[in-house]
């Protein structure tokens, strides 16, 4: 396949927002290597994933020796392992050879590498110094790494659930609004809907276009500064009357579930903008930075215990901040859900009064026709008149 120039490879493979360690110390090396690998070799992303695991195991073997010289070699091997760990995803995006199994393999191998390296690093220090604190420190490293990724998974599930519930409520509200339209208004609405579907048929919208809404999270993935752009939009659940939204059913309403967080921390937008100029995400101490501090910075400086404790404290601080942000987001979710009127159940029409017995023939009243009588006697005809009258 034709491999594009390096600038295009960067655009295709590098994330718009990433960990600062990856942006500053990994991407400048990994992206050119990915282009060279795709152009001159037949290496697959899964093979690179295996290579990252083997380098991680080699780093663990060095950590287990305990001496500072071996710690330096282990730190270098761990960094090379992480570079390969970033290359497999980039190569998959560039060549289109990614797979679901490859994503699973990458995730599992990452956890295995952290587990083995933590045991080897702290075990080596315990055998060298005899301090039991290193044994507990190994458990803390494994626990914090697992907590970080489990927390990220659960937060994703909660946010996905909130989006689905808002979409369902918006869809029900839209149906209720369309039920009140006249035939002419309904036809015009269908024409507008068809035109918008044709314009956006190539975009993945998770079904939300049907409800006339868009989520700020989706807009930020395409444009990291979308919430900073000028122009008319609805920032939160209280912006705009719902009746006005029903009067213009195809005008998108932007749902932002971080309104309360932004109102409490107005400086956050400027801080995020500064970081985005350098492709750095605001989660400054995530699982990546924690690993690099434990397995690279600590061994190089020869201060494994204090660096690990400090990195763990910073990781927990940022995790608590994310949980607090989720709490505020759930409040925005409740207000957004309440801004859509709950469609009232359709009224059941009252039963028609019973017809007098003498006005109804035996068969129409539920009494079977006599065996000797005409088959159609007493039954209503197609035009509504009683047969035989």
pLDDT, tens digit, 9 for 90 and up, residues 5-55: 999 999 999 998 999 999 999 999 999 999 999 999 999 999 999 999 999
Q: Name the nearest CA neighbour of 325 among 260, 246, 231, 254.
A: 260
pLDDT, tens digit, 9 for 90 and up, residues 243-266: 343 434 445 678 889 999 999 999
Distance from chain centroid for Cα 294 = 28
Orientation angle between helical segments 68-95 and 27-40, nearest 10 degrees: 50
Q: What average pLDDT score do residues 259-274 get? A: 92
* Of 121 and 182, more confident: 121
Locate 259 and state its tokens: 């309104």
Whether 70 has a pLDDT exceeding 80, the answer reads: yes
Locate 359 and state its tokens: 């006005």
Residues 283, 318: contact at Cβ < 8 Å?
yes
Residue 295's contacts (CB-CB under 8 Å, 6 or more residues apart) are: 59, 63, 74, 75, 78, 117, 121
User: Which of 72-86, 247-261, 374-388 comes out lowest in average pLDDT?
Assistant: 374-388
User: Model-level pTM?
Assistant: 0.75
Cα pseudo-dihedral 205, 211, 215, 220, rounded to 10 = 40
CA gyration radius, the chain: 32
Helices (H) and strands (E) in the chain, counts: 15, 2
pLDDT at 363: 41
Mean pLDDT of the chain: 81
């Amino acid at each position: 396949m034709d491999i594009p120039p390096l600038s295009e490879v960067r655009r295709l493979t590098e994330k718009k927002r990433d960990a600062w360690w990856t942006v500053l110390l990994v991407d400048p090396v990994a992206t050119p290597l990915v282009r060279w690998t795709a152009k001159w070799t037949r290496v697959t992303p899964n093979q690179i994933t295996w290579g990252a695991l083997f380098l991680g195991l080699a780093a663990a073997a060095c950590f287990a020796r305990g001496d500072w010289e071996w710690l330096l070699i282990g730190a270098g091997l761990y960094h090379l392992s992480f570079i390969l760990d970033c290359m497999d995803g980039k190569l998959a995006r560039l060549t289109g050879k990614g797979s679901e199994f490859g994503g699973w393999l990458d995730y599992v191998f990452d956890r295995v590498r952290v587990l083995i390296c933590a045991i080897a690093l702290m075990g080596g220090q315990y055998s060298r110094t005899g301090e039991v604190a290193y044994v507990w420190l190994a458990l803390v490293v494994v626990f914090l790494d697992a907590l970080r990724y489990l927390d990220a998974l659960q937060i994703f599930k909660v946010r996905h659930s909130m989006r689905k519930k808002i979409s369902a409520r918006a869809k029900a509200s839209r149906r209720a609004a369309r039920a009140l339209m006249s035939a002419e208004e309904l036809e015009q609405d269908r024409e507008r809907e068809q035109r918008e579907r044709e314009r956006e048929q190539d975009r993945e919208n998770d079904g939300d276009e049907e409800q006339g809404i868009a989520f700020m999270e989706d807009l930020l993935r395409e444009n990291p500064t979308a919430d900073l752009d000028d122009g008319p939009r609805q920032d939160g659940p209280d912006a705009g009357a719902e009746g006005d939204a029903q009067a213009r059913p195809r005008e998108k309403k932007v749902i932002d579930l971080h309104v309360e967080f932004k109102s409490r921390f107005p400086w956050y937008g400027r801080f995020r903008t500064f970081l985005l100029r350098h492709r750095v995400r605001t989660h400054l101490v995530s699982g990546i930075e924690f690993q690099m501090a434990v397995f690279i910075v600590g061994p190089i400086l020869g201060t494994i215990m204090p660096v690990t404790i400090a990195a763990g404290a910073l990781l927990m601080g940022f995790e608590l901040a994310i949980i607090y942000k989720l709490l505020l987001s759930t409040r925005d979710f409740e207000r957004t859900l309440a801004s859509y009127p709950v469609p009232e159940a359709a009224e059941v029409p009252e039963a028609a009064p019973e017809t007098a017995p003498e006005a109804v023939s035996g068969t129409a009243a539920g009494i079977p026709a006599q065996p000797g009588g005409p088959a159609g006697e007493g039954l209503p005809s197609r035009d509504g008149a009683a047969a035989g009258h």
